[in-house]
Structure 1
């Protein structure tokens, strides 16, 4: 294929991806479901399992192999921008008076699903072999199975909290704050898992771990004051500052990828060390373009993720595995979070609300699964099962909340004084819900 033809194919495929993904996201939002559900469904539909099976000629014309690297590059760029925003908006200072409840819920919501996931990986090794996994699972594979069950998606959770009028309530504050803390724990464990898995890196994993710790320490100690002096102290034009910060995020992502980690960790770290305004608020001149760019380009990530979904691998074993994974993902999250919330003093309805919200998965789960698949910790059939598990648990959140609202009312504690609109993470537009600023709305 000539360079001109490749460019034209890429332009045509990009047009289809953007229109189909955002149209599907808009439809999902109209159906009271998160935006990601529609976008991911569109990505799977445009992949080899559906479009490739129904119209292989059209699929080959729209998505020739030659444009694969360009699409992957766009997907990685969108992922870096999105996670840079995640890191920048992460703020655990909102714990406030509910710190004890938040820490208790986060610990339970991570530990119980983690233990169950690891235990199931060891217990069902023979069944996992039929899904393409090796006879003997490596420690990294076992730990990753636990991580896959323990993820909670902060963006979609925040959106659902706002849509259901829970933003100023005790369960809303506790769930969003606990999910933010759980994200920190989950990403840390996932980073260690990917480091240990090794891949094709020339350095052994202990050396890569030492270098990674050194890089993190350098970023935490030196990057924030340097950025504040260079980019904020010079009264730099916002558009130029935004461009330089995106370059900073891409560079950080490149370093972590070179150390055997995924680009996601460098992007998160870069966002976390970027200084805020003097009063601790987010810089709107940075947040708005971050939302707009990531919202525009994230459909490429969904399509790339959909390329790895193999519906033809979903035989009886696959569907049974999907049912079991979904049941375990829902029951372990809701059960552990609800019990922890009750032990922390929340009443029955509030505790159930926290449990259901903590079961929410979405783009965060998909990012983790994609990283695990690229690190060869998942086979394609098992990756497919877990992608559909993430979709199923996300879809179940709203119906479960409606069931809880029908429970008999109990006395409820007074809502906390802080305003969780400045929540742990404010980036809902890619997962559904009302964005923090009108300019960020892509639906």
Structure 2
């Protein structure tokens, strides 16, 4: 295929991806579901399992193998920008007076699903072999099985909290704060699993761990002061400041990828150390274009993720695995979050709300699964099972919140006030209101 033909194919495929994904996201939001549900559904529909199976000629014409690298590159770029924004917005000061409760919820929501996921993987490994996993499990594979059940998606949780008027309530603050802490723990453990897995890397994992620790130390100690000095002394325009920080995020992502990790770790780290305003607030001139770029390009990631979903190869074993894994994922998250919130002093209704919120997964889960698939910690069939688990737990969050609200009304004999006031207008409650919050 000539270069001109490749470019034409890529442009046409990009147009289809953007229109289909955003239209599906809009439809999902109209149905009361997060944007991600529609976008990932569109990605799966445009993949080989549906479009490729029902109209193979059309699929080959739209997505020839030659443009796969370009699509993957756009997907990785969108991930770097998105996770840079996530790291930039990460603010553990939300803990406030509920710090102990949030820490308790975060630890319980990590340890219980982690133990259940890893234990179930060891106990039922023979069944997982039917889904394409190797004969003997490695330590990183078992650890990753636990991580897959432990993840909570901070962006989608934030959007759900805001849309349900929970942003100023105790369960809303506790859930968002605990999810932020949980993110840090999960990404750290995932980094360790990927580093130990190693793959074909020339350096052994101990050396790479030492180099990675040195890189993190340099970034944490030197990057923010240097960036702040450069940005303030030069008085850069917003566009140049944006270019500098995204370049910094891409460079950091390249380093972590070179160490055998995923680009996601470098992007998150770059966002965490990016300088804030003098009063500690986020720079709106930086945040707004970050949200715009990531919102525009993330559909490429959804299509790449959807193309790896093997619907045709699921079989009865795969669909049974989806049901079992979804049940484990929901019960362990909701149960551990509820119990920890009760121990932290929350009443029954607020504790139930916290547990349900902690079960939301969304884009964060997909990013972790994609990293595991690329590292060889998952087979394509098990990856498909876990993608459907992520979708199911995300879909269940809103109905379960409505159910617990009705239970509270029935128990009190009056409309539930514990859910807080009606959702405030965008920007009035200090929560994130940009499109990226609805994606993850």
Query: TM-score, normalised to structure 2's length?
Result: 0.95
2:226, 2:198 → 1: CA distance? 32
Partner of 2:16: 16
Q: For 1:420 and 1:251, how far apart are their aligned partners in 2?
A: 35
Where 1:233 maps in the other structure, the secondary structure is: helix
Structure 1: 5+ residue runs without aligned partners?
436-443
Cα distance between partner residues in 2 of 1:133 and 1:414: 44
- Cα deviation for residue 429 of structure 1 reads 2.2
Aligned twin of 1:367 = 367
Question: Paired residue for 1:429, among 404, 423, 435?
Answer: 435
Counterpart mapping for 1:225-374 below 5 A: 225-374=225-374
The secondary structure found in structure 1 opposite 2:303 is: helix
Secondary structure at 2:279 match in 1: coil
> Is the contact between residue 336 and residue 355 of structure 2 (CA under 8 Å) also seen in structure 1?
yes
Distance, in Å, in 2 between the alignment partners of 1:128 and 1:208 is: 30
CA deviation profile, 1:259-312 (whole Å, cap 9, x unmatched): 000000000000000110011100001000000000000000000011110001
Residue 123 of structure 2 aligns with which residue? 123
**CA-atom RMSD in angstroms:** 1.7
- 2:181 aligns with 181
Instruction: Say if 2:158 and 2:437, in contact at 8 Å, map to a contact too.
Output: no
- 1:235 CA displacement: 1.4
Shift of 1:387: 0.2
Contact 2:157–2:176 (CA under 8 A) maintained in structure 1: yes
Q: Which runs of 4+ in 1 moved over 6 A?
A: 411-415
Any conservation in 1 of the 2:288–2:434 contact (CA below 8 Å)? no
Tell me, in whole angstroms, the C-alpha distance in 1 between the residues paired with 2:271 and 2:295.
Answer: 17
Q: 1:191 to 1:140 in 2, by over 3 A?
A: same
- Residue of structure 2 equivalent to 1:191: 191
User: How far off its partner does 1:114 sit?
Assistant: 0.2
Conservation of the 8 A alpha-carbon contact between 2:166 and 2:419:
no
Closer, same or farther: CA 295–414 of 1 in aligned 2, 3 Å = closer
Task: State the partner residue of 1:101.
Answer: 101
TM-aligned CA deviation for residue 430 of structure 1: 4.0
Question: Where does structure 2 lack aligned partners over 5 or more consecutive residues?
Answer: 421-426
Q: Deviations over 1:233-253 (max 9, x none)?
A: 321111101011111100000
How many residues get paired? 429
Shift of 1:313: 1.3
Tell me the TM-score normalized by structure 1. Answer: 0.95
Question: 2: distance between equivalents of 1:339 and 1:79?
Answer: 34
Structure 1 residue 37: deviation in Å? 0.2
Question: SS of 2:385's equivalent?
Answer: helix
